[in-house]
Amino acid sequence: MLNIVIFGAPGAGKGTQSDLLVERYNLNHISTGDLLRKEIAAQSELGKRIKSIMDSGNLVSDDIVVAMIDQAIATDTQGLLFDGFPRNVSQAETLDKLLEKHGRKLTCVVSLDVPRDELVRRMLERAKVSGRSDDNEVTIMNRLKEYEAKTKPVADFYEKKGLHVKVNGTGDIKAISQSVIAEIDKRK
Ligand code: AMP
């Protein structure tokens, strides 16, 4: 069974590429951002706490997202595509343990490589139509800062394990998808 992480900075196109990967491999798409937004929409106490953190552009606490991932792995029968998780090295270590607990292993981690000025341009463009309260200039800059400080080291963590593969994330969406699929097919 495939267990893939789609990795990259905010604005790198993880969501877009995830949709195409789900179509190609019939995977269960686990986006922690989407799961957190669902919790906010449900207006639970937890949702209210999550919203203020998300609106600042900071990462929410590991406990909250790890519980969501644990549940997703435990109930999956299709193969998993993790999008937006892991977001720091501690989450990556936890993912290893959770997969192992369920007798699974990561297939690979595919990074979408996009220059910073292009990330900013894309996110400001998306902000005009997304309706997401964290798609504004101040929050975007903090999300990129969080990515640089906490998330980027995750790529090195997987590089050392020989699981990391980098794909050019600029240009035609279909062409990017073909590169991503070619890398996954080499490792599955
Ligand atoms: P995303 O939809 O992946 O861009 O995530 C939007 C926001 O949700 C992030 O800026 C974080 O506040 C929060 N978030 C999503 N995934 C995680 C995660 N794995 N760990 C911590 N916070 C997360």
Catalytic residue among 24, 132, 150, 166: 132
Domain with 89, as residue range(s), is: 3-180
Confidence (pLDDT) at 108:
98
Centre of ligand 1 to C-alpha 98, Å, is: 19
Specify if 186 maps to a domain: no
Specify if 188 maps to a domain: no
3-state secondary structure of 7: strand
| Alpha carbon distances (Å) from 96 to 115, 140, 158, 166 | 29, 29, 11, 20
Q: Is 38 a known active-site residue?
A: no
- Low-confidence residues in the chain, pLDDT < 70: none
Number of domains in the chain: 1
Half-sphere exposure of 104 (CA within 13 A, CB side): 22
Confidence (pLDDT) at 71:
95
Q: Which residues line ligand 1 (CB under 6 A)?
A: 10, 32-33, 36, 53-54, 57-60, 65, 84-85, 87, 91, 134, 143
Closest CA to 173 of 25, 14, 3, 32: 14
* C-alpha 159: how far from chain center: 17
The per-residue pLDDT for range 82-101, each reduced to its tens digit, is: 999 999 999 999 999 999 99
Closest CA to 58 of 115, 163, 141, 132: 141
CATH number of the CATH domain containing 53: 3.40.50.300
Specify if 169 maps to a domain: yes
